[in-house]
């Protein structure tokens, strides 16, 4: 039952990304071009996502299990640290350069977009490098 629910939630998310235009790198880059031909339409998409997230987290804080009965683990971190800032800057740079973030990149790749496939491959390579650095203790040696 969980896998079926996961499939349908993922499908709904992917359809939402397609309908909102988040899978079109040109639209995303137009949103990020504040001093050129700025396209504010994705601000509405983000605002809607933030509103849904706000109410979803408020509801989740009152629960101990998910709707399907599994354990519910919410993030506990409350501080903005160097690791979060560097991660945010890296994410933003990748989003600005490619016009994709992870979800839309995967949806676009699945629909045959070769640029998205390159983005997803680079994302996976970055994740592997991060895991290797984490396991080797490199982060601790760098003071992060």
Distances (CA, A) of 129 to 10, 67, 84: 26, 35, 17
Q: What is the pLDDT of residue 144?
A: 54
pLDDT in tens, 134-144: 888 766 665 55
pTM of the complete model: 0.74
Q: Which residues, 6+ apart, have CB-to-CB distance to 41 below 8 Å?
A: 21, 27, 31
pLDDT in tens, 24-64: 888 888 888 888 888 888 888 889 889 999 999 999 989 88
Q: Where are the domains of the chain?
A: 2-142
Helix axes 114-136, 102-110, angle to 10 degrees: 130
Neighbours of 101 (CB within 10 A): 17
Q: What is the pLDDT of residue 142?
A: 58
Count of helix runs (H) and strand runs (E) in the chain = 7, 0
> Under a CB-based contact definition with an 8 Å cutoff, are residues 116 and 49 in contact?
no
Q: Which residues, 6+ apart, have CB-to-CB distance to 31 below 8 Å?
A: 38, 39, 40, 41, 42, 43
DSSP state of 97: H
């Amino acid at each position: 039952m969980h896998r079926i629910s996961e499939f349908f939630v993922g499908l709904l998310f992917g359809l939402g990304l397609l309908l909102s235009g988040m899978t079109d790198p040109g639209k995303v880059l137009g949103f990020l071009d504040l001093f050129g031909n700025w396209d504010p339409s994705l601000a509405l998409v983000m605002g809607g996502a933030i509103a849904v997230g706000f109410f979803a987290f408020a509801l989740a804080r009152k629960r101990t299990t998910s709707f399907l009965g599994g354990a519910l683990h919410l993030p506990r971190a409350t501080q903005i640290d160097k690791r979060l800032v560097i991660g945010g800057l890296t994410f933003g740079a990748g989003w600005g350069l490619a016009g994709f973030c992870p979800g839309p990149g995967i949806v676009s790749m699945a629909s045959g977009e070769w640029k998205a496939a390159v983005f997803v491959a680079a994302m996976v390579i970055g994740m592997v490098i991060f895991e290797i650095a984490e396991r080797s203790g490199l982060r601790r040696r760098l003071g992060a």
